[in-house]
Amino acid sequence: MRALSSYAAVIALGLAALGIAALKLLGGADWTPLALFAAALIVTELVEDADRIRTREPSAFESFRVTSALHIAAAVVLGPWSAALLAGASALGVRRLRDRSLGTVSFEAATVTLATLAGGYAFLAVGGHTGKIELLADLGPVAAVALVYLTIRTALLQVVAGREAFQPDVAAGAGEAALGASVALFATGHPWNLVALVPVALVVHVAYTRLARVRRETLQALETFANIVDERDPSTYQHSIRVARSVDRLARSLGLPFSDIDRLRWAARLHDLGKVAVDASLLRKEGRLDGAEWAAMRRHPRLSARLMQRFEFAAGQARAVEFHHERYDGQGYYGIEGSALPLASHFLIVADSFDAMTTDRPFRPALSREEALAEIERNSGTQFHPTVARAFVALERGHDAAALLTSQELAELRDAAIPYRLPVIPGARDLRDRPELIAIGGVTLALVAGAFGQLEVVYAGAMVGLVGLLLYVKRRTRVARLTQAMLDAVGGTQNREASFDGLTSVLERACGATWSALIDWEEDGLGGTVSRERGTDGPHLAVLTSWLVREAESGEKLLSAGGFELQHEGVVVALPLRRENSALVGFLVLAVPRRLPGQVELALAEAADELALALADRPQSRAIASQTAPQTVHAAN
């Protein structure tokens, strides 16, 4: 109810602002820039909106819009009220023509109206003047209009309409602000200068459209792949579709943000991709599986995760898909404790098990819906997450799942839905590790200042550039010394274990590593064994192996993960070990208290080939000891 009232309030405020803006326009206006901006907005709305159909992709908003740049430019050139009128009226008229619901269109039009109005007043408040813009002097006002516009638009669309956490797309916002400032700069010279920017806007739009189309086609290909996997076994026909539908209903009933619902739905849709590597005869076998057959079956969750990890928009749910045959008590395929599983895994586990129990399988007949729900209740807290299981059972019995949970339980579920990969925000540490950026920045500042005759700034920029250059030389010297120390540690012996001990001693001094291990990788790329280790403060082997499976084929010379992902304090770093034929045969893994110093990362990357030859062993075929057969056969398929 509160969400609906907020939704209605935004529409009311937006429509009121449109009415006031229309009345103000009757008092007189410069019709040439007004007409040109109106034409530009109508055309861009027509072109862009066709590609904004919601495809329910497993990703957050990626909202670069040329229309947003025009709204920002209009606020600068025309003033708050005229710009707000054009933004709202063009959105309302064009989007309604596409037969979209009046409520949705009204909210979107109100959003851009209020955002443009607020942005225009922010421009004036910081010292800007309507219809005038000068570089450097007006950087503050231009930044203000862009920041206020983008913040309000994002907050209303994500938080009010989408029930999302406030997660602005910084890259898209910066692009919109830059394009908007360019349009404003051209238009203030003469309104007809806008025509010169038409090709630029078209190129930007075409590039984004092609990117969106490629991603959409890739998703459709993956979905077709999932259908083919389901069709290999008549008993699992449309299995992933039913699981996705169940997960979607459960997530909606609990009030999760729409973007999280979409990610969960796609994780469910693609969770069995790895079964493409399982012999179809095993899927259709009527009797129980023997040890070798279970080992083959247990490979499919990790293979599914490996496939999904290769696609950026699906990689966020690869971890959840890999664990969809785990148990809350830690007795699943890979022995991962329930507390270490992402929330999406618990949704997949209960929905996948329910569908498996209620469909006929070669080795047993289907249970009735009520029998399956009773089985879920009986295994709540052992096989299934107790809160998720209770909500699922309630929903399937026709009750309001959210009403049966406490506010604390709902809050825990919604908080747990936050993606475990948080955006990395550059900071001072990044500048310290990349002194060449300081040097380049200083030189650039000096050149720009020289163009405007600011000699003091030229000197300051030159000094910054010189400091950056000196820091770069110092850093390269330290990298060279550390690289040589590591090569010396492994070059004086043909003994693999001695090379490992010598190398880890060097790294312990360089970065304070508290644990290190040499892992031999299996030929199928789905597991490995620890052949040697130093220290005892390492991550759980099953969790570590899971991470390595997903990241092994990333192409990175050095893999790194935070403690949250691996349920371990500090940072874990892995150096892939490859032989001359590029075959991956192992990893050197380190646990360190904090992110590796930049010189250590560079030294490891530069010495990677030599270290791999010294430490790599032949590929191993032994399975990880922690992989045990599941205790509930009915939930396995």
Mean pLDDT calculated for residue range 353-374: 88
Give me the pLDDT at residue 364, please.
77
Strands across the sheet containing 528-534:
528-534, 515-521, 584-592, 571-578, 559-562
Give me the pLDDT at residue 632, please.
35
SS3 533: strand
Nearest CA among 257, 84, 92, 267 for reference residue 165: 257
Give me the pLDDT at residue 637, please.
40
Give me the pLDDT at residue 291, please.
77
The pTM for the full model equals 0.72
Name residue 355's amino acid: D
In which residue are the tokens 């209303």 written?
156
Among residues of the chain, what percentage have pLDDT more than 90?
A: 24
Mean pLDDT calculated for residue range 413-436: 61
What whole-number distance in Å separates Cα of residue 209 and Cα of residue 212? 5
61-65, 71-75, 457-461, 539-543: least confidently modelled range: 61-65
423 pLDDT tier (thresholds 50, 70, 90): very low
Burial class of 26 by CB neighbour count within 10 A (0 to 12, 13 to 18, 19+):
exposed
630 pLDDT tier (thresholds 50, 70, 90): very low
What whole-number distance in Å separates Cα of residue 525 and Cα of residue 35? 62
In which residue are the tokens 């990357």 written?
605
Q: What is the mean pLDDT of the chain?
A: 82
pLDDT tens digits along 151-183: 888 888 776 665 555 666 677 788 888 888 888
pLDDT at 37 over 50: yes
Give me the pLDDT at residue 625, please.
38
Mean pLDDT calculated for residue range 590-618: 85
pLDDT tens digits along 228-275: 888 887 767 788 899 999 999 999 888 887 778 888 888 899 898 888
pLDDT at 473 over 70: yes
What single-letter DSSP state applies at residue 132? B
pLDDT at 52 over 60: no
CB 114 within 8 A of CB 10: yes
pLDDT at 562 over 60: yes
Mean pLDDT calculated for residue range 129-134: 83
pLDDT at 222 over 70: yes
